[in-house]
Structure 1
Amino acid sequence: MSETLAQALARVGDPVNLLRDVDYPAFTFPVHPEFTNWRSESRSWNETVALMDQSHHMTQLFLTGADIAEVLSPIAVNTFANFRPGVAKQLISVNHEGKVIGDGILFNLNHATAQGESVVLIGHHVLIDWVRFHAERAGKDVQHRLEGNSNMREGDPTFYRYELQGPRAHDVLEKLLGGPVPDVKFFHIHDFAFAGTTVQGLRHGMAGQPGFEFFGPYAEGETVRQALLDAGAEFDIVRIGAKAYSVTPLESGWVPTPFPAIFGDDPLFAEYREWLPLARAGSIGGSLSGPVEDFLLTPYDLGLGRSVKFDHDFIGREALERIAQAPARRKVTLIWDAADVAKIVESQLTPGTPAKYLEFPKARYGFYQFDEVRQDGRRVGVSTDAGYVAYDQLYLSLASVDVDVPDGARVEVVWGEEPNSRKSNVEPHVQTRIGATVAPAPYHDYARTTYRDL
């Protein structure tokens, strides 16, 4: 039997020390790395139109039963007043102190799967494990089926999933439909008829650009994809590989893996840690040090405050009601100084111990990436996801900083670990500092001001 998180904590003690040295496998998207080159591919969703294949990289939890909302509502900050077929939501769970456990996209499907399932939760396994735990212990009419990503699963997934995004996305869809694109609200699901079948489309986008996420039975996926490519040919459609896809959160402003608030003395979370295998707990990368509380973030810290609704009772409601009055932090983009990024690259080419290797296009080397952000000798936040955005020719990271740090402020990102952890993807290196400028998140005006309102 595999070691549980509780057993590992009893052996090591501190959760930060435990997860900093966990040799967790690098997160990879199990699709073709590049169809052309990741620089050109990642420019396409801002310039023409991009086709992204999401069929393989996310965990899915399929749900059935009369009590789905009754089980989910007490562990979600979201309202379930509008929980009906054809609507999706970014499901967010917090602990009793209002700190985030995880998030994912909950689809209430227009059409049940072949197994009769009507609801599916898509995302990293962190939130899905928390939902599974509650579904199993609730004693309610709710059943679930876990479907790992294509690195973890035998056989085909239930759904194909394709993101069609970019300024010409609607042109492609108009050609497919032979007429105007229906007016579909953000995070609503619409039935489209093309490629000789019914294709469900969620009005949503991974990179903060116009478009839809299309999905349907996996067996129909090749036909649907070819129809999208054929219709998009005259609009310079570009297929997106795994490397380019990995930078989409930097443009949409979504922090992919906040550190899960599942520690502390609360009996519910002690039971959960007994249930959760260590192998699913993830790993920490980055320069941030300190107690586990320093790694925890609220929905407001992550720019998710709009999803918090106080129309129902849920774990963490009282804490979030207080936090909502005066959030301590806010989500921002950090624009890294080009000269300091170049110095990190130069350190790999000169004698002596180099700085921590900086990957292009994505720099994250822990499942939970947490780098310290400092200003005038004090810690003012944490930098999480980091990478190179080819469209802007900038190295960026998503961060959560104190609310008194304004846009335009100068800060430093502490890059690299001191001491170096024992993870196999961490080589001997020296810690360094990268100057950065605070900017809004999402970085692009369109994604920040218009994207949700179309």
Structure 2
Amino acid sequence: MTVPSLQDGIDQAGSTVGLLWQPGAEPWTPEVVDREYVGWRTEQRAWHDGVALLNLSHHMFDMWIEGPHATRVLAEYGANNFEKFAIGQAKQYVPVTRHGHIVTDGILSREAENSYLLSGVPASQHWVQYHAEKAGYDVEFRTDESSAFRRGGGDPKLFRYQIQGPLALELIGKVLGGPVPETKFFHSTPVTLDGRAFKALRHGMAGQAGYEFIGPWEHAAYVHEAFVKAGEPLGLVQVGALAYATPSVESGWVPSPVPGIYTDPELAEYRAWLPLFGIEGKRPLNGSYFSENIEDYYVSPYELGYGKMIHFGHDFHGRDALVAAKADESLRKKVTLVFDPDDVRRVLGEGADPGFVLSYARHRVETSAGLAGVTMQTASIDPVGTVLSLTLIDPAHAAPGTEVSVVWGEHPGPGTDPEADLGFPRIRATVQPSPYDRHARTEYRRNA
């Protein structure tokens, strides 16, 4: 039986928006992790005030890229600097289309001279593999799908545990018998625990100190238990799926932007190569912001705050478009919207407590002049005391303190005017910087 392609799905639906638009779609949360261990509020506070353990083992898609042309293909289809990329270092990989729209990002780590590991949602992996195979590069690919999609079931090849928060370094020292050797941000160093070897990636979330420990799955249970046991006196909190999905709102990372691949005629062969039942065909769109044109959902890496990662010292796919985008003052700015707590309770709450809010919907952001921006991710942040929304907004309205309103509702999609007044409630909000967390915006980002 022939596996349907992304292009098949678009053709059958009549348009890309027709394929992807799903009002009321459930927000993504990590697989094979309890929704809550001790309550999402306590779990959120743990990485702000104490120490938290997050399990990333099951929802990451991994691709190993190895061979004489590994660096070449990654550099030709990514905007990053590969002249300064040390073994043991990781980077946020930034692949773009020829028109300068992001495909999606991923975490790329250099394992050896001609060996890399690209992790995250698989859109960037698909992009690299397709172009490498089409051009006949001397490179091999090995993949490990996320646990929800792993064909044949089974365990992941790698465990990934993040230890985060003000007490993270104390806990790590207790488990490993001493501090991790001084490690630069987003670099890794080898560590051992009772003869079990793995690596520690200097990393953080929402601006907090910590490491991500990555190693063979055969050591997963032992390492996990060691951290849990040693963390008990420090009040270690395991973070469930609900709270896990929220720190990106504070740290300013936009998860899974819409890949800019759906309309370029030169990518027709790529869309026919991609499976329909993958991230590009099944990540839903919804919210009060609706357009029949999928290109209205495309984003530039500059809008996402990735400008410092772009390196023009080499030729790469989409370079000319990014040169033009760098000077484009009309591009939207990434900001944080702080929702008015009274409006949150009025629109989203039941009684005095609005409960947990998580949405990846694209909601309209308006001023008295009309449409001003669109939300990218919205979540309850209990330490802040309200809901925050990571948002792309027109430069004229990006100054901190600007008052806007968020249109909260679900547009029905094709067949209804995008500008129709559907009676959706408005939530007042105030523009603030992104990242919202001060440490993430200053010291953390400077280290990056």
**Identity across aligned pairs (percent)?**
39
Aligned to 1:82: 84
Distance 1:240 1:330 in 2: 31
Q: CA deviation at 1:35?
A: 1.6
Change (3 A) 1:127 1:431: farther
Contact preservation (8 Å) 1:195, 1:224: no
Contact preservation (8 Å) 1:15, 1:292: yes
> Aligned ranges for residues 23-102 of structure 1 at < 5 Å?
27-30=28-31, 31-102=33-104
Q: CA deviation at 1:384?
A: 0.9
Aligned to 2:359: 363
Aligned to 2:310: 308
Distance 1:227 1:65 in 2: 36
Contact preservation (8 Å) 1:49, 1:165: yes
Distance 1:85 1:363 in 2: 37
Distance 2:92 2:49 in 1: 27
Aligned to 2:12: 11
AA aligned opposite 1:295: Y
In structure 2, stretches of 5+ residues that fail to align are 416-421
Distance 1:75 1:273 in 2: 17
Contact preservation (8 Å) 1:161, 1:214: yes
Q: CA deviation at 1:403?
A: 1.9
Contact preservation (8 Å) 2:434, 2:441: yes
Aligned to 2:396: 404
Q: CA deviation at 1:420?
A: 5.8
Measured on the aligned residues, the alpha-carbon RMSD in Å equals 2.3
Contact preservation (8 Å) 1:340, 1:435: yes
AA aligned opposite 1:284: L
AA aligned opposite 2:304: L
Distance 1:226 1:418 in 2: 46
AA aligned opposite 1:109: E
Q: CA deviation at 1:450?
A: 1.2
TM-score (norm 1): 0.88
Contact preservation (8 Å) 2:80, 2:94: yes
Distance 1:266 1:225 in 2: 48
Aligned to 1:432: 425
Q: CA deviation at 1:5?
A: 2.0
Aligned to 1:172: 171
In structure 1, the residue corresponding to 2:65 is in which secondary structure?
strand
In structure 1, the residue corresponding to 2:396 is in which secondary structure?
coil
AA aligned opposite 1:264: T
Distance 2:245 2:388 in 1: 13
AA aligned opposite 1:191: P
Contact preservation (8 Å) 1:71, 1:138: no
> Aligned ranges for residues 16-415 of structure 1 at < 5 Å?
16-21=17-22, 27-30=28-31, 31-109=33-111, 118-153=115-150, 154-267=153-266, 269-280=267-278, 281=281, 282-290=283-291, 291-327=293-329, 328-345=331-348, 360-364=356-360, 369-405=361-397, 406-415=399-408
Q: CA deviation at 1:177?
A: 3.8
In structure 2, the residue corresponding to 1:279 is in which secondary structure?
coil
Q: CA deviation at 1:193?
A: 2.6
Distance 1:449 1:23 in 2: 36
Contact preservation (8 Å) 2:290, 2:413: no
Q: CA deviation at 1:363?
A: 2.4
> Aligned ranges for residues 412-423 of structure 1 at < 5 Å?
412-419=405-412
Distance 1:412 1:29 in 2: 30
Distance 1:283 1:33 in 2: 21
TM-score (norm 2): 0.90
Contact preservation (8 Å) 2:202, 2:212: yes
Deviates most, 235-244 or 5-14: 5-14
AA aligned opposite 1:442: P
Contact preservation (8 Å) 2:336, 2:431: yes
1:299-322 deviation per Cα after TM superposition (whole angstroms, max 9, x unaligned): 111111111110111121111112
Change (3 A) 1:345 1:378: closer
Contact preservation (8 Å) 2:287, 2:411: no
Distance 1:415 1:95 in 2: 32
Q: CA deviation at 1:145?
A: 1.8
In structure 1, the residue corresponding to 2:373 is in which secondary structure?
strand
1:391-435 deviation per Cα after TM superposition (whole angstroms, max 9, x unaligned): 11220110111222211101111222233689xxxxxx9632221
Change (3 A) 1:434 1:32: same
1:255-303 deviation per Cα after TM superposition (whole angstroms, max 9, x unaligned): 0011110022341x11111111222222211122222222111111111
Aligned to 2:419: none
Distance 2:122 2:414 in 1: 24
1:101-158 deviation per Cα after TM superposition (whole angstroms, max 9, x unaligned): 1000011126x9xxxx942111112222222222322311111122111111111111
Distance 2:258 2:295 in 1: 10
Aligned to 1:425: none
Change (3 A) 1:345 1:21: closer
Distance 1:59 1:22 in 2: 26
Change (3 A) 1:196 1:377: same
Distance 2:222 2:108 in 1: 26
Distance 1:146 1:192 in 2: 25
Contact preservation (8 Å) 2:254, 2:377: yes
1:11-52 deviation per Cα after TM superposition (whole angstroms, max 9, x unaligned): 333322321149988633121222211110111000011111
Distance 2:264 2:309 in 1: 27
Distance 2:25 2:387 in 1: 25
